[in-house]
C-alpha cells in the first residue's frame, strides 16, 4: 500500500552558538525514516528530549529539516507552499486542549475556525458547529460555552472536533490523554478509534505512555536522542522487544501486580544531553547490556523479521532465549 506519510532519512539541526556556547550544529533528529499507510496508527514513543515533537513539527512544516525528505500522499514537501497545500489534510491535536483554545472564543467559534483559516466557505456556522460537536459526543448547546467552562475531557473532545473539521487524512495527536482520569482517557481513545474507522483516518500518536500505544497503535517507533532505535508491529514489540531501551520502557510500564515489574531491566539515569552525545551506541550509558564494543562503535539500524528493525549490536540476541548469552 502506498504510504500516506513518508519520512526518509530526516535530520534536524539547530545552529549552536549563542547561549549554547558552541559552533557545531546540534543534531536534534538524526536520519529518521518512518511511514504511515492510510488507516494506520503509528505510536511515536520516547522520553522527553527524544525528538518526538520535533519530528511532528517537521511533518507539519513548522520545523525546517536539514536533510532527508518528507512526502505526503506522494507529494514532496519542500517549500512552504507544499506544506500549505496539504495543511487542510493534516490536523494537530494538542496536548493541553484547554490552553490551545482561545479563552475569548466560544466552543462553536473554535471548532469552525479552521474553515476561516483555510478559506473554506461554510453555509451555516451554527449548524456546522453542532454537527462537529455531535460527532465527538458533545451536545450542540455546548457551542455557546467558553473553554474555562469545560472539563478536561470535554476540552479534549472539542480539540478532536476542531481537528476533524476539515476532514483530514492524518491526525497528529500529541499526548492525547495526558492529564485525564483513566476513565476519561478510555473514552477519548474509544472516540479516536471510532472516528478512525468511520473516516479512514491515520494517526501519528506522540507519547511517552507505553500503555496508550499498546492499545491503539498498529505499529510503534521508538526514538532515543533523535534517533530511531526500534520499530515494528505493536504486538511483536511488546511480546519481544529487541532493543534494550524498548525492553526497559515496556518493563517499566505500570502493571496491575507490581511484583511482575522487571526491575533488572530498569533504565539507569537520565537521558543524556544532545550537547554531549555519548560515543558508540548512544544508549550505552544507561544500557544494562552494554559491552566494550558499545562504547566505541555505533550500531546500525538492523532489519529483523516481520517488518521489524532495531539499532543494537545484539538485536538478534536480546530475546528471552538469547539473554543468558549476554548475562542479562
Ligand atoms: Fe545496549 Fe550495546 Fe545494544 Fe547499545 S548496542 S543498546 S549499549 S547492548
Q: Is 228 in the pocket of ligand 1 (CB under 6 A)?
A: no
Ligand 1 atom nearest to CA at 295: 7
- Indicate the pTM of the whole model: 0.89
Q: Cite the beta strand spans of 15-120 per DSSP E.
A: 26-36, 41-45, 67-72, 75-76, 90-93
Indicate whether residue 294 lines ligand 1 (CB < 6 A): yes
pLDDT band per the 50, 70, 90 thresholds, residue 328: very low
Can you tell me the mean pLDDT for 163-190? Answer: 91
- 111, 129 Cβ separation under 8 angstroms: yes
Average confidence score pLDDT of the chain:
88
Q: Compare 95 and 113 and report the one with higher pLDDT.
A: 113
Is the pLDDT confidence value at 102 over 70?
Answer: yes
Q: Answer whether residue 83 shows pLDDT above 80.
A: yes
- Asked if the model's pLDDT at residue 104 lies above 80, the reply is yes
Tens digits of per-residue pLDDT, 283-317? 999 998 999 999 999 999 999 988 899 999 999 87
Q: Which of 289, 302, 325 to mutate to test the pocket of ligand 1 (most atoms within 8 A of CB)?
A: 289
Task: Determine which helix (DSSP H) or strand (DSSP E) holds 6, and give its type and residue range.
Answer: strand 5-14
27 — pLDDT class (breaks 50, 70, 90): confident
CA distance 217 to 197: 13
Amino acid at each position: 500500500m502506498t504510504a500516506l506519510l513518508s519520512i526518509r532519512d530526516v535530520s534536524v539541526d539547530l545552529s549552536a552558538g549563542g547561549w549554547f556556547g558552541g559552533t557545531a550544529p546540534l543534531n536534534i533528529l538524526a536520519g529518521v525514516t518512518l511511514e504511515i499507510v492510510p488507516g494506520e496508527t503509528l505510536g511515536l514513543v520516547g522520553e522527553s528530549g527524544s525528538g518526538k515533537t520535533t519530528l511532528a513539527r517537521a511533518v507539519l512544516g513548522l520545523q525546517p529539516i536539514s536533510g532527508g525528505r518528507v512526502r505526503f500522499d506522494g507529494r514532496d514537501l519542500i517549500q512552504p507552499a507544499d506544506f500549505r497545500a496539504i495543511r487542510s489534510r493534516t490536523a494537530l491535536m494538542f496536548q493541553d486542549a484547554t490552553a490551545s483554545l482561545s479563552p475569548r472564543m466560544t466552543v462553536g467559534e473554535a471548532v469552525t475556525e479552521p474553515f476561516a483559516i483555510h478559506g473554506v466557505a461554510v453555509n451555516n456556522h451554527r449548524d456546522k458547529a453542532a454537527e462537529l460537536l455531535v460527532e465527538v459526543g458533545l451536545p450542540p448547546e455546548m457551542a455557546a460555552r467558553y473553554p474555562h467552562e469545560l472539563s478536561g475531557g470535554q476540552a479534549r473532545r472539542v480539540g478532536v472536533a476542531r481537528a476533524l473539521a476539515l476532514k483530514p487524512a492524518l491526525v497528529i495527536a500529541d499526548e492525547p490523554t495526558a492529564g485525564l482520569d483513566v476513565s476519561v482517557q478510555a473514552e477519548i481513545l474509544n472516540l479516536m478509534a471510532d472516528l478512525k474507522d468511520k473516516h479512514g483516518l491515520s494517526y501519528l500518536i506522540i507519547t511517552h505512555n507505553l500503555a496508550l500505544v499498546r492499545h491503539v497503535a498498529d505499529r510503534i517507533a521508538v526514538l532515543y536522542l533523535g534517533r530511531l532505535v526500534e520499530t515494528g508491529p505493536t504486538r511483536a514489540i511488546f511480546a519481544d522487544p529487541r532493543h534494550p531501551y524498548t525492553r526497559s520502557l515496556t518493563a517499566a510500564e505500570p502493571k496491575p501486580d507490581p511484583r511482575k515489574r522487571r526491575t533488572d531491566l530498569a533504565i539507569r539515569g537520565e537521558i543524556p544531553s544532545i550537547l554531549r552525545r555519548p560515543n558508540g551506541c548512544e544508549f550505552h550509558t544507561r544500557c544494562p547490556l552494554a559491552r566494550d564494543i558499545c562504547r566505541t562503535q555505533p550500531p546500525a539500524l538492523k532489519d529483523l523479521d516481520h517488518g521489524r528493525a532495531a539499532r543494537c549490536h545484539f538485536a538478534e540476541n536480546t530475546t528471552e532465549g538469547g539473554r543468558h548469552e549476554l548475562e542479562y
